[in-house]
Amino acid sequence: MHKYAAYVTEFIGAFFLVFTVGTSVLSGTPLAPLAIGAVMMVMVYAGAHVSGGHYNPSLTIGVFVRRRIDLPDAIAYWVAQIAGGVVGAVVAYWVMNPTGIAPMDVSGRRLVTALLVELLFTFALAYVMLNVATSRSNPNNSFYGLAIGFTVAAGAIAVGRISGAAFNPAVTIGAAVMGLLAWHVAALYLVVQVIAGVVAGSVFLVLNPDEQPSRVEPVEATQAPAP
């Protein structure tokens, strides 16, 4: 399968994730966390056999640190994910046609708290994904999508009112495009989300020494939930 199929799959997954975030948040539905976790779950199941089903640059960073993807492919994933997220945000905004959006109030001590919870749950998401979808101890499992989707849902329910529960640079940028998040706050979120991905990949390798790769495995090796 050509690598471009993986990039298109990442674009599609990120699009529907950010589109769902935008429409559910802008509509004010109390079921937004469930909708967001569910769309992440189904998109992972839909695309994991093609691209690994990351849809999140932080997850791709974790996979890169874990050495299951090389840098050129990681960069291509990041571009596809962010592009999909931006397009999803634009379409969500157009569909909902909101009036008078005020960015989430994240300032002072609340900003510090928001950065902390973004760090923690982005780490949790990447850590879960690496363990359920890339570990040799979980070959051909059927629960990886549920685990990843429910991590997103759990985080959205637990800390959504604190940080907006982005846990994903593509979602963060999409939220800023829609006016849900101030750009200077989004920039800080991006920093902690990247750090979380690096830490998750490093922790995975420390806790799973048998998974230490001797070389970077080709991107095709990440096209299934587990090798």
Would you say the C-alpha torsion 189, 99, 81, 171 has a positive or negative sign? positive
Among 178, 200, 175, CA closest to 188: 175
What are the tens digits of pLDDT across the range 116-170? Answer: 999 999 999 999 999 999 988 877 788 999 999 999 999 999 999 999 999 999 9
Alpha carbon separation from 60 to 27, 99, 104, 213 (Å, rounded): 30, 35, 27, 17
Instruction: Assess contact for 201 and 61: CB atoms under 8 A.
Output: yes
The pair of structure tokens assigned to 25 is 């948040």
CATH of the domain at 189: 1.20.1080.10
DSSP string computed for 118-160: HHHHHHHHHHHHHHHHS-TTSTT-S-HHHHHHHHHHHHHHHHH
- What is the tens place of the pLDDT at every residue in 62-118? 999 999 999 999 999 999 999 999 999 999 999 999 988 889 999 888 999 999 999
Confidence of residue 215 (pLDDT cuts 50, 70, 90): low
Residue type, 51: S
- Report which of residues 2 and 28 the model is more confident about: 28
Read off the pTM.
0.92
Domain range enclosing 200? 3-98+106-212
Flag whether 226 is in a domain: no
The span from the CA of 21 to the CA of 11, in Å, is 15
Question: Which residue has tokens 């006016």?
Answer: 179
Q: Which whole-number Å values give the CA distances from 194 to 56, 200, 208, in the listed order?
A: 10, 10, 21
Q: Is residue 222 part of a domain?
A: no
- Which position has the token pair 């109030």? 105
Is 22 contained in some domain? yes
- 91 vs 213: which has the higher pLDDT: 91
**Structure tokens of 24?**
């559910």
Q: What is the pLDDT averaged over residues 185-189?
A: 98
In a domain, 224, yes or no: no
- Return the percentage of the chain with pLDDT > 70, whole number: 93
Does residue 140 fall inside a structural domain?
Answer: yes
Q: Rg for the chain (alpha carbons), in Å?
A: 16
Judge whether 220 lies within some domain: no
Q: Residue 227's pLDDT band (boundaries 50, 70, 90)?
A: very low
Q: Assess if residue 221 is contained within a domain.
A: no
Give yes or no for a contact between 125 and 201, defined as CB atoms under 8 angstroms apart.
no
Element (H, E) at 210: none
Q: List helix spans (H) across the chain.
A: 3-27, 32-51, 57-65, 71-96, 109-133, 144-163, 169-177, 183-207
Total structural domains in the chain? Answer: 1
Q: Is residue 217 part of a domain?
A: no
